[in-house]
Amino acid sequence: MDSESNKIDLFKINETQSFRFYQMPKELFTNPYYKDRLSLEAKVTYTLLLDRLELSRINKWFNSNGEIYLIYTRQELINELKISKSTATKVFNELKSCNLIIEERLGRGEANRIYIGKIKNEDLEQFKKRKFRSLKTELLEVQNSTSRSLKEYLNNTNNNNTNNLYKDEKKFFLDDKVSLYGGEIEKLVNEYGMDKAVKCIVELNLYKLSSGKEYSSDYDTILRWVVNKVERDENKKVINNNKKHSYQNYSQREYDNLEEFYDTGG
């Protein structure tokens, strides 16, 4: 066999991707309503159906209520995913159970019409509460696993430079986007307590997810402005609770760009 046929054509820095892509909703993997109830095949199938939806829109396939439908048989799914008939049936049932599709039977010999349900976005407050509970447990586990080695490292080194202190340590990913060294976790918890440390990590994670920003040091970012944001939110709750008992006339400005507002370091 010609060696050239086995050569991998790698991307170069001046090249862009020119492929067509399927858009798979992230909620299928992050929202507990879907991620634990749908198999991988069901998630991929929903993605394929969403792709077909745009074609139906162009072809003006919709009912009297303006609801778009498409035609996608189980055999088509079997051919595309290389799965069995029983698996295809299971996939459609999973999507129905999560209210992601509705099938309309048209009669003998005719393919069903499929209507696509929208994904329900998890309520932000419920998301934050859920992440807070799971992240608190995760932080405790990371703390316990790194505490002994970290203390030994601190006891055996005379170098107090922060940049050198963590150079040989690995980072731990907490939540989707936030990563901290074991020593940074220790310092954050010791300085602010477990509850506030978790709130800071959740807050930074939500901000990074919504803004797409990345930082060279999540720990420095937390100290620079996230802690202020969390403390401000806590103070607002105290003020709101006090207002239930006595009227206070005050004004509070809201800032969309939290990073700029709290970044007092220039």
Contact 68, 116 (CB under 8 A): yes
Question: Is residue 1 situated within a structural domain?
Answer: no
Q: How many domains does the chain have?
A: 2
Please write down the long-range contacts of 56-61, taking CB distance under 8 Å and 24 or more positions apart: none
Instruction: Identify the segments of the chain with pLDDT beneath 50.
Output: 1, 158-165, 247-256, 264-266
Question: Is residue 16 situated within a structural domain?
Answer: no
Indicate whether 173 and 246 sit together in one domain. Answer: yes
Judged on CB neighbours under 10 Å (0-12, 13-18, 19+), 219 is: buried
Domain that residue 228 falls in: 124-262
Please write down the long-range contacts of 236-244, taking CB distance under 8 Å and 24 or more positions apart: none
* Boundary residue ending a domain (116, 137, 166): 116
* Boundary residue ending a domain (65, 90, 116): 116
Indicate whether 128 and 112 sit together in one domain. Answer: no
Retrieve residue 137's tokens. 């447990």
